[in-house]
Structure formats: structure tokens, C-alpha cells
Amino acid sequence: MYLFVNGQVIKEEEAALSPFDHGYMYGVGLFETFRLYEGHPFLLDDHFRRLSKGLASLSIDWKMEKEQVLDALQALSDANGIKNAYVRWNVSAGIGPLGLYTDTYSKPTTIVYMKPIPEEMGTEKTGILLKLRRNSPEGVDRLKSHHYLNNLLAKREIGNDPTREGIFLSEKGYLAEGIVSNLFWIKGDTVYTPDTDTGILNGITRQFILALCKKNQIPFEIGCYSVEALLEADGAFLTNSIQEVVKLTEFDGQAFKKEQPFIEWLQQQYKLFRHSLWSKSEL
């Protein structure tokens, strides 16, 4: 694998990180994961808008123009010889003194990872109610940060089966999100999803799905819901930027209806836009 590290494309074995990088020492860093579809980075503008806002909140002085980002992705795509890819764009604070640092980080570390991915992935999963609760965000909002221990422990709880996804409850007992996904369900003609007030990540694909609902005048509600709301649903699905829209066949041992035309419609809509859209605002 070739990586993009601070402006250069290098082999993975040549990559190095300072032991004083605060992304390693204290978890001060953020990342975005997204896909290339035949070279097109789907919803790139939305991902980098979120990344830039989050980095600013951490006092990490980082900026790249869109043209620079696209050049980096093209160079990395060419080096790895792939056009359909998983991309992780990682920005950490960079080198700092030993101890908690309160000033602005002016020399962050940028690392971009890219690996091949099949254009079509699994479209169904089983939902498992986790015993472990979703931890509260470190700050006001949930950032896509290096603090991933809560997710890792949840993954260990359910194991490595790729057809299973753990569903978190918030610390207050409300439905929250999956280990690596946002959660939606359908009851009647209305789509439901937990509010970010539950401490979930406001996923880019989550935002795209809500924008699709708004554009097509599909009723949706955002709020704080108990487990019963999901158990009584007609159907449910998960979203993230790598796996797209994934239907839940069951939750906590209770099966949903096999026929889910709305979820199938969403999956088709995703395919329609994924080779061309830069932002949900283009809808």
C-alpha cells in the first residue's frame, strides 16, 4: 500500500510518526472515511467541511484547498492502481511537548490511507443490542476522532462476523447508533432516526439520507427513542460512507418484514448519485 504523508506519496513501510505526535500521545486528531467510485470521491465537500470544522474546534491549524485534495487522491489512486477505493483521511495534531497542550497546533500530521474495495458490498445485517453503552462525546458534539476505545470494546462484544452490527444505547438508555454506522427505522410511512442530542456522530451518509427524504417529501422524525420504538418498527437500516445503506433483517432476535421497498429505493438512489455528487446540497 502507498500512503500520502504530509504532501508525499510513499510506501507504507517508509511511513513514520513521531512519538511526540499528540495524535498518538493524547488522541488529538480527526479523520474522515469515504469512497472513490471510479475515481470520484462521493460527498467529498461534506466530509471536508466536517473535518475542517472539527479540527478548528481542536485548535489544529489545518487547511487544504479542494484542488490539492483532489491532486493527492489522484496521486494515491495512481500509485495504488485502484479507482474504487476505501479512503481514510487522517489529520493529527502533530508534534507537541510532553504534557497537555492548550495552544494552537500549527504543524499537523496528514496521512491518507487507501485500499481497494469491491464496488458492491453486503446489503443486509443483523442488529445486536449492545450491553456496553455509548459513551458521551468528549466535547459538545461527537467528533470523528482518534478516541475509538468505546467502539473497539463494542466490536469485541459481538465478534468479527461482518453480517452483525452492534447497536448502542446512550448512557440515558435511548437508541443511539451502530458501532460504525447511523441507525434508521421505518414505521408506517415515516422514517425515524436518533437525534444528535443522544451523543451520536452526525454521519455524512446520515445527512445525505435525510436530505433525500426532504427532497422527495418523505416524512421523517428525529428524536430520542426507546428500544421499543425499534422493536415495533416495520423495518430498519444502517448507513455509513463505506457500506452505504444496509438493511437490518432483524434486531435483538426479532425479524423485520422481508419486503422493504423504501430501503431498496434508498439503495438505488445511492447508486444513482455516488459517481457524481460532491455534496448533499446539490440535491
pTM exceeds 0.85 for this model: yes
Q: Alpha-carbon Rg of the chain, whole angstroms?
A: 19
Report d(CA 194, CA 188) in Å as an integer: 17
Express each pLDDT in 146-189 by its tens digit.
999 999 999 999 999 999 999 999 999 999 999 999 999 999 99
Report d(CA 266, CA 238) in Å as an integer: 11
State the first-to-last Cα distance of the chain, in angstroms, to the nearest integer. 35
Asked if residue 217 and residue 201 are part of one domain, the reply reads yes
In a domain? residue 38: yes
Q: What is the pLDDT of residue 192?
A: 98
Report d(CA 75, CA 234) in Å as an integer: 45
- Which amino acid is present at 253? G
Residue 42: band (very low, low, confident or very high) from pLDDT cuts 50, 70, 90: very high
Q: What is the pLDDT of residue 121?
A: 83
Average pLDDT over residues 214-231: 98
Asked if residue 21 and residue 138 are part of one domain, the reply reads no
Q: What is the pLDDT of residue 132?
A: 98
Q: Tell me the CA distances in angstroms from 46 to 16, 34, 161, 237, 259, one per residue in order.
A: 29, 10, 30, 22, 32
Asked if residue 109 and residue 128 are part of one domain, the reply reads no
Domain end call among 64, 92, 116: 116
Average pLDDT over residues 71-89: 98
Asked if residue 132 and residue 44 are part of one domain, the reply reads no
Domain end call among 64, 82, 116: 116
Q: What is the pLDDT of residue 114?
A: 98
In a domain? residue 283: no
Residue 30: band (very low, low, confident or very high) from pLDDT cuts 50, 70, 90: very high
Asked if residue 110 and residue 201 are part of one domain, the reply reads no
Q: What is the pLDDT of residue 122?
A: 86
Average pLDDT over residues 221-236: 98
* DSSP summary character for residue 170: P
* Residue numbers of the domain that contains 87: 2-116
Instruction: Report the domain count for the chain.
Output: 2
**Average pLDDT of every residue of the chain:** 97
Average pLDDT over residues 13-37: 97
Q: Is the pLDDT of residue 257 over 90?
A: no
Report d(CA 81, CA 193) in Å as an integer: 38
Average pLDDT over residues 55-61: 98
Domain end call among 116, 148, 165: 116
Partnered with residue 29 across adjacent β-strands are: 92
